[in-house]
């Protein structure tokens, strides 16, 4: 709601500003000295000649608190200009209640502050989670590197995510070159007896097969063409909700063991089955 009042003869002199301050103080129940100080501080602007007949003076967007007789405080906005009535320049003041705008601004400020606080808290949580994840990944890497057997890990699509140093040596693939490749491209195996391509143990594990790969006598075809007898086992990698998110394949070179076993059978004169 807008309120308008016309008060006194207008000029830009200290006396004129004092008259305006006194009129506003009477209208809004505020100390005249405070209003006069705020006007003199630059909230009231003057253009042109300060002569009473030619002065063009105005005040824009002065915000004050209106205090009624009961002590209730209402924020209002005041704009003042000089108008001429009956040949006499006077102050024309327009005021309006800006309580809703102030309430909306405070709500917006709170929402912004809450949003900024939530972002900061979430950022801190993510930083902590990333730190934990990096620590766990480093621990996992060190653990894999220290295992005496060859270890290959894959994602849920049977694409390689890591090889430890033993797996690099046995397959002939470097970890950096193997990452992202299909397991069957790096880990090529044949049935030891038939020399036919063996079933992919990781794919079978991802399909839910129990003990996939265990007990199978397989030949690993290395990248450089070597053939190694291997024993292997696979196990699913599960997340906190027990969903399969990958597979860990563990294998070891048993070529010398196979040769020794075959020699012992040959020396015993027993025909192998």
Residue 100 has pLDDT above 60, yes or no: yes
Chain-centre distance for alpha carbon 32 = 53
pTM for the full predicted model = 0.50
The answer to whether 61 and 45 are in contact (CB under 8 A) is no
Phi, psi of 152 (to 5 degrees): -125, 135
First to last CA, the chain: 104
For residues 247 and 49, what is the distance between their CA atoms, to the nearest angstrom? 87
Q: What is the 3-state secondary structure (H, E, C) of 159-191?
A: EEEEECHHHHHHHCCCHHHHCCCEHHHHCEEEE
pLDDT digits (tens, 9 = 90+) for 20-48: 667 666 666 666 677 667 655 544 433 33
pLDDT digits (tens, 9 = 90+) for 207-236: 877 666 566 678 999 999 999 999 988 888
The answer to whether 204 and 213 are in contact (CB under 8 A) is yes
């Amino acid at each position: 709601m807008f309120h308008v009042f016309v008060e006194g003869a207008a000029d830009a002199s200290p006396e004129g500003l004092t008259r305006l301050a006194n009129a506003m103080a009477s209208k809004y129940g505020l100390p005249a000295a405070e209003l006069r100080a705020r006007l003199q501080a630059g909230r009231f602007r003057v253009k042109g000649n300060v002569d009473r007949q030619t002065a063009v003076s105005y005040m824009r967007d002065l915000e004050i608190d209106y205090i009624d007789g009961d002590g209730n405080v209402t924020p209002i906005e005041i704009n003042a200009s000089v108008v001429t009535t009956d040949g006499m320049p006077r102050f024309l003041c327009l005021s309006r209640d800006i309580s809703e705008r102030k309430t909306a601004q405070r709500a917006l400020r709170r929402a912004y502050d809450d949003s900024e606080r939530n972002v900061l808290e979430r950022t801190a949580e993510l930083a902590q989670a990333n730190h934990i994840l990096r620590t766990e990944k480093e621990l996992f890497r060190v653990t894999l590197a220290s295992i005496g057997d060859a270890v290959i890990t894959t994602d849920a699509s049977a694409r390689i995510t890591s090889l430890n140093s033993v797996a690099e040596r046995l397959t002939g693939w470097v970890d950096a070159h193997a990452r992202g490749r299909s397991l069957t491209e790096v880990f090529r195996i044949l049935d030891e007896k038939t020399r036919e391509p063996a079933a992919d143990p990781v794919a079978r594990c991802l399909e839910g097969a129990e003990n996939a790969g265990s007990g199978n006598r397989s030949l690993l075809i290395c990248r450089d063409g070597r053939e190694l007898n291997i024993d292997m086992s696979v196990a699913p990698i599960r997340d906190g909700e027990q969903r399969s998110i990958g597979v860990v394949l563990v294998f070891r070179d048993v070529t010398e063991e196979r040769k020794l076993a075959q020699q012992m059978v040959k020396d015993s004169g027993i025909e192998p089955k």
